[in-house]
């Protein structure tokens, strides 16, 4: 009798665990509801950790690479050493630099940008006339097509004030000619070269030609060089994204 009750109890617990896991195994929020209904947390997730975006972090002593996509590969192209300056770097016990990568040509990311703007401007509390104006601008923004190019936006952050200044200087001085041999988009068997570059404040943008043909089983890799910034050494960044996770209506979207 006790054994029967024990088996029954384990069965009930198993059923409860499975039922609780079902929502997590179901479709993601971007497939279940339109972007106008995304919460602040969901919008942030789309822009920071999703099939179309990820954030990686570099440390001074040892790399700490994070992201929900395929593992990031980072190999040093210079010795790390210690700081030779008397700046903020020496004062930080754990200096870090993070890069947030987003496929800005992907519709889900652009929808998240619109939704983030709506949330920040309290769209839900606007008058009907104000909403109409906002909706019109959003429609124009989302109507832009990227049939011949792929746009990748990269935003940097750091916990060291002096590092931020150095990063702004470095990326602000880059150009298409200076980056043409170190920045690539890997798409299956294709290695696509940079076709345009721009920088503003804490964000730089890579533009690549759109791959001719990709399979959902392949990956997209964004390749660039992180410069030596004081205690954080120079290294090559290769961040991969799974095309299988970037499907919208059965087709890879990027």
Return the percentage of the chain with pLDDT > 90, whole number: 58
Average pLDDT over residues 168-195: 96
pLDDT top residue among 206 and 67: 206
pLDDT top residue among 21 and 91: 91
Local confidence band at 19 (pLDDT 50, 70, 90 cut-offs): very low
- Above 90 in pLDDT, residue 51? yes
pTM: 0.78
Please count the helices (runs of H) and the strands (runs of E) in the chain.
Answer: 7, 12
**Mean pLDDT for the chain overall:** 81
HSE at residue 157, side-chain half, CA atoms within 13 A, is 8
């Amino acid at each position: 009798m006790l054994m029967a009750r024990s088996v029954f109890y384990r069965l009930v617990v198993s059923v409860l665990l499975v039922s609780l896991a079902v929502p997590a195994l179901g479709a993601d929020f971007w497939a279940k509801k339109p972007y106008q209904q995304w919460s602040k947390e969901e919008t942030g997730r789309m822009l920071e950790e999703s099939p179309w975006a990820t954030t990686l972090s570099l440390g001074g002593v040892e790399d700490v690479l994070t992201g929900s996509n395929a593992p990031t590969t980072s190999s040093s192209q210079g010795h790390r050493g210690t700081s030779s300056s008397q700046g903020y770097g020496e004062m930080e016990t754990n200096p870090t630099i993070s890069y947030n990568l987003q496929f800005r040509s992907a519709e889900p990311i652009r929808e998240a940008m619109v939704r983030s703007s709506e949330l920040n401007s309290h769209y839900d509390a606007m008058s009907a006339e104000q909403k109409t104006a906002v909706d019109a601008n959003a429609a124009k923004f989302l109507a832009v097509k990227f049939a011949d190019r792929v746009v990748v936006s990269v935003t940097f952050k750091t916990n060291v004030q002096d590092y931020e200044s150095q990063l702004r200087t470095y990326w602000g001085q880059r150009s298409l000619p200076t980056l043409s041999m170190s920045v690539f988009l890997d798409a299956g068997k294709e290695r696509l070269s940079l076709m345009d570059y721009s920088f503003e404040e804490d964000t730089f943008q890579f533009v690549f030609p759109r791959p001719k043909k990709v399979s959902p089983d392949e990956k997209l890799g964004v390749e660039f060089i992180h410069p030596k910034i004081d205690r954080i050494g120079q290294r090559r960044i290769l961040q991969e994204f799974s095309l299988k996770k970037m499907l919208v209506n059965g087709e890879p979207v990027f």
